[in-house]
């Protein structure tokens, strides 16, 4: 048995291989009936502030689809009298050439108004996308369930939510219905991601205090997302389900490290923090069936 085997290094290498080879764009691994806020014409999900803002509107109206006033008219419909739209923010960096020949980047910001589909009428139903939830017979994975069940200071896990999230204020994790995931393994990968987030809570590793900028897209926010996805990849490997999840994990990681010039440094820091998060979960098992340190974890993986 090779005592130098390192499960974390093994997963890092798998991810790096996929990053270098190029991976498909990250895909949301579940589909619920209400779906996520998106432009109905382009079927493009909103991002950043727009996503979270319109998510509340989606819950209010029961439809995830939004259109501009012009798009409503082009589809043969009209906005109901008295209905008010919702602002969507759009911004990008413009290259402006100065008098001295240097090029400066200036932020360009504007907003436009969208309406929820339920605020309109007259649009032909054949032009409306289907919103049926994905449904399959979910088969729990015993090792994953055991790891979660026996974590003695685990946050509360709320099921049947509209999206996956971790709330630091309430110290709870939200998850969509397990049947709405395309594959069982993706359910656990997503849940592991949110549980890794929870290890940063003040009463656990207190990682969030060291990453104070929680604004979407900031360096701290992006680093925390890397930590969560790296940690989830480690746990998937330990459970033995990495083959079904590693490509989407690599794609998600690529979407965050692409924001920075120091990709390797960012990945190194995140993998170190992710390892501490996983070790924390393994060391706080009320009925420990998992090895308490990295070398033993590696030996177990190699032995089976």
Residues 161 and 210 in one domain: yes
Residues 114 and 155 in one domain: no
Residue among 227, 226, 203 at smallest CA distance from 152 = 203
Residues 236 and 157 in one domain: yes
- The last residue of one of the domains, among 127, 154, 173, is 127
Count Cα atoms within 13 angstroms, Cβ side, for 217: 5
Which residue segment(s) compose the domain that 66 sits in?
38-127
Report the range out of 70-84, 86-100, 263-277 with the highest average pLDDT: 70-84
- Higher-pLDDT residue of 182, 135: 182
- The last residue of one of the domains, among 127, 154, 188, is 127
Tell me, yes or no, whether 1 lies in a domain. no
Report the range out of 22-26, 49-53, 172-176 with the highest average pLDDT: 172-176
Tell me, yes or no, whether 63 lies in a domain. yes
Residues 139 and 60 in one domain: no
Q: What is the mean pLDDT of residues 150-156?
A: 96
Q: What is the mean pLDDT of residues 76-90?
A: 91
Residues 122 and 271 in one domain: no
Is the pLDDT at 27 greater than 70? The verdict is: yes
Is the pLDDT at 57 greater than 90? The verdict is: no
Q: How many domains does the chain have?
A: 2
Determine which of 4-18, 68-82, 177-191, 199-213 has the lowest per-residue pLDDT on average.
4-18
Residues 258 and 174 in one domain: yes
Is the pLDDT at 9 greater than 60? The verdict is: yes
pLDDT tens digits, residue range 199-232? 999 999 999 988 777 776 677 888 899 999 999 9
- The last residue of one of the domains, among 80, 112, 127, is 127
> How many other CB atoms are there within 10 angstroms of residue 180's CB atom?
19
Q: Looking at the whole model, is its pTM more than 0.85?
A: no
């Amino acid at each position: 048995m090779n005592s130098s085997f390192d499960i974390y290094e093994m997963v890092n290498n798998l991810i790096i291989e996929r990053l270098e080879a190029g991976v498909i764009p990250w895909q949301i691994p579940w589909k619920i009936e209400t779906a996520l806020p998106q432009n109905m014409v382009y079927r493009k999900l909103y991002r950043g502030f727009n996503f979270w803002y319109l998510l509340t509107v989606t819950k209010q109206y029961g439809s995830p689809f939004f259109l501009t006033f012009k798009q409503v008219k082009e589809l043969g419909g009209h906005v109901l009298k008295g209905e008010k739209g919702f602002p969507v923010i759009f911004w990008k960096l413009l290259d402006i050439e100065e008098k001295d020949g240097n090029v400066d980047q200036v932020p360009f910001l504007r907003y436009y108004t969208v309406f929820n589909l339920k605020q309109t009428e007259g649009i032909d139903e054949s032009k409306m996308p289907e919103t049926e939830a994905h449904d399959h017979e979910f088969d729990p994975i015993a090792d994953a369930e055991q790891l979660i069940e026996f974590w003695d200071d685990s946050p509360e896990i709320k099921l049947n939510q509209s999206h996956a999230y971790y709330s630091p204020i309430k110290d709870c994790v939200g998850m969509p219905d397990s049947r709405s995931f395309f594959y069982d393994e993706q359910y656990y990968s997503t849940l592991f991601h949110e549980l890794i987030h929870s290890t940063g809570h003040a009463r656990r590793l207190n990682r969030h205090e060291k990453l104070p900028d929680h604004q979407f897209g900031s360096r701290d926010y992006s680093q925390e997302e890397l930590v969560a996805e790296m940690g989830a990849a480690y746990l998937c490997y330990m459970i033995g389900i990495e083959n079904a999840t590693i490509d989407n994990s690599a794609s998600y990681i690529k979407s965050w490290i692409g924001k920075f010039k120091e990709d390797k440094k960012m990945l190194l820091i995140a993998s170190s923090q992710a390892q501490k998060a996983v070790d924390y979960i393994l060391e706080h098992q009320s009925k420990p069936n998992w090895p308490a340190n990295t070398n033993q974890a590696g030996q177990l993986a190699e032995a089976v």
